[in-house]
Amino acid sequence: MNIGIVCYPTYGGSGVVASELGISLANLGHKVHIISYSLPFRLNGYYENLFFHEVSANAYPLFEYVPYEPALSSKIVDVALHESLDILHVHYAIPHASAAFLAREILKSKGKYLPFVTTLHGTDITLVGKDPSYSPVVSFSINNSDAVTSVSADLKNETQAIFEIKNKIHVIPNFIDFSKIDYSIPTKKTFCESQEKLIIHISNFRPVKRAEDVVRIFHKLLQKSVNAKLIMVGDGPEKVNTENLCRELKICDKIRFIGKLDSVENILKTADLFILPSQTESFGLAALEAMACGVPVLCSNAGGLPEVVENGKSGYLCEVGDLDDFAQKAIEILDAKNLSEFKIQAQERAKAFDLRKILPLYVNLYQETIDKSLGLNG
Ligand code: GMT
């Protein structure tokens, strides 16, 4: 197949999923065309069968905001015609699904029907999409996609509760490619002494991630004499507040902020616990990446996280903001008599999301969608 993929290039789960999916489809021999305004950060190598098409939206003195959506639709039309796309897969509804809809209409007028699949990732529904300034466009473009997927059952339910959805929503969970984790490299604790426990948080530091909670939970652990260090990976709007909190609590010597990383496996492999106290999380891809590296996850009992983390086995689920419970559960996981079992169970759980199980779900959906659209040309 010739497959177009539209995504955000920035640090965020939807861009990661789109990039990893593109690489895996290209490895299967499909021709994959990634369309975005810059190269997604996980596509930092050369891949046979994978091509990148940059969208440039030109500024003009009349515009207060550069109109990205028409530029994206125009680019989709151009790639569809010149690369003979069979199908387009857009990640994150806003504005990708409506841009795909417009491109499909333009292409129809040129005698080509380009079916598109929309994957809902979370904040495109739960935070941004339901805002009245976007919601009519989001619900229209979901209902007019040729197929729709959601990364968890919870996100599917949320979408159906928020919008009047007539289209079927297929749940296809996020996945992990175990082949990119090199278990043969011995894990070495770079950031702490071997007897110290290493706790890690990875996020884009948006308010929904509640990064300050991570520091407060860690502070409670130190007060209970847990010998540990905390590594905070990523960057974003809440990072300064989070750093200030470390200063206020006088625990800076125990915490390292290491900024954005293109690849997280090597650091994850050295960790003993991953904390994700988000307000909500449609799936929690970072939690899955941690589990695949054998790191138990302590996260909120919110959104799609209970579909990923099994309470009491691969980690624990705590109510959002219940920091005492988070701290108590962290102590339980880190306890020497429990830790190795939690690590084994975490890695075992991640296998349910093995790329080799999930990729065929997308390939079959593409084929079904293409088959259904035959005859709709022009
Ligand atoms: O806010 C983010 O974490 C980024 C956002 C995105 O769309 O890029 O992440 C969402 O999609 C990820 C991939 O499907 C999910 O793993 C995240 O749980 C989801 N984030 C939220 O729902 C807050």
Atom of ligand 1 nearest to the CA of 14: 8
Rounded to 10°, the helix 285-292/13-27 angle is 60
Mapped onto helix, strand or coil, the DSSP state of residue 96 is: helix
Report the alpha-carbon distance of residue 265 to residue 278 in Å, rounded: 21
Q: List the residue whose alpha carbon is closest to atom 4 of ligand 1.
A: 12
Give yes or no for residue 377 having a pLDDT over 70: no
Instruction: Give strand pairing partners of 202.
Output: 233
* Mean predicted confidence (pLDDT) in 81-110: 97
28: tokens are 């299967």
Sorted by where each begins, the domain ranges of the chain are: 2-175+355-377, 179-352
Report the alpha-carbon distance of residue 44 to residue 23 in Å, rounded: 11
pLDDT tens string 246-287: 999 999 999 999 999 888 888 999 999 999 999 999 999 999
1: tokens are 């197949």
Report the alpha-carbon distance of residue 209 to residue 274 in Å, rounded: 13
CA proximity to 17, closest of 152, 183, 114, 146: 152
Give yes or no for residue 3 having a pLDDT over 70: yes
Report the alpha-carbon distance of residue 281 to residue 306 in Å, rounded: 10
203 Cα–ligand 1 center, Å: 10
The type of residue at 293 is: C
Q: Which residue has the higher pLDDT, 267 or 317?
A: 317
26 Cα–ligand 1 center, Å: 24
Q: Can you give the pLDDT at residue 192? A: 80
Give yes or no for residue 185 having a pLDDT over 80: no
CA proximity to 124, closest of 237, 14, 18: 14
Report the alpha-carbon distance of residue 132 to residue 322 in Å, rounded: 31
202: tokens are 């990875």
**Any residues with Cβ below 6 Å from ligand 1, and which?**
12-15, 17, 92, 121-123, 151, 174, 204, 206, 208, 280-285
Give yes or no for residue 200 having a pLDDT over 80: yes
Q: Can you give the pLDDT at residue 10? A: 86
Q: Worst-scoring range by mean pLDDT, 10-19, 153-162, 242-251?
A: 10-19
Give yes or no for residue 378 having a pLDDT over 60: no
Q: Can you give the pLDDT at residue 98? A: 97
The correct CATH number of 2-175+355-377 out of 3.40.50.980, 3.40.50.2000, 3.40.50.170, 3.90.280.10 is: 3.40.50.2000
Q: List the residue whose alpha carbon is closest to atom 23 of ligand 1.
A: 281
What is the 3-state composition of the chain as percent helix, strand, coil, each rounded to the nearest 5?
45, 15, 40
Q: Best substitution site from 11, 282, 297, 307 to test ligand 1's pocket, by max atoms within 8 Å of Cβ?
A: 282
pLDDT tens string 121-146: 998 888 887 889 999 999 999 999 99
Average of per-residue pLDDT values in the chain: 95
Q: List the residue whose alpha carbon is closest to atom 9 of ligand 1.
A: 13
Give yes or no for residue 155 having a pLDDT over 60: yes
Q: Which residue has the higher pLDDT, 36 or 126?
A: 36
Strands 255-259 and 31-36: unpaired
355 Cα–ligand 1 center, Å: 18
Cβ neighbours around 238 below 10 Å, total: 19
Report the alpha-carbon distance of residue 142 to residue 98 in Å, rounded: 8
Atom of ligand 1 nearest to the CA of 206: 1
350 Cα–ligand 1 center, Å: 18
Report the alpha-carbon distance of residue 273 to residue 230 in Å, rounded: 10
Q: Are 60 and 217 in contact (CB under 8 A)?
A: no
Report the alpha-carbon distance of residue 339 to residue 331 in Å, rounded: 10
Q: Can you give the pLDDT at residue 190? A: 75
179-352 classified as CATH 3.40.50.2000 = yes
Q: Do domains 2-175+355-377 and 179-352 have the same CATH topology?
A: yes
Report the alpha-carbon distance of residue 140 to residue 143 in Å, rounded: 5
Instruction: Give strand pairing partners of 91.
Output: 119
Tell me the pTM: 0.94
The dihedrals phi and psi of 322, each to the nearest 5 degrees, come to -85, 80
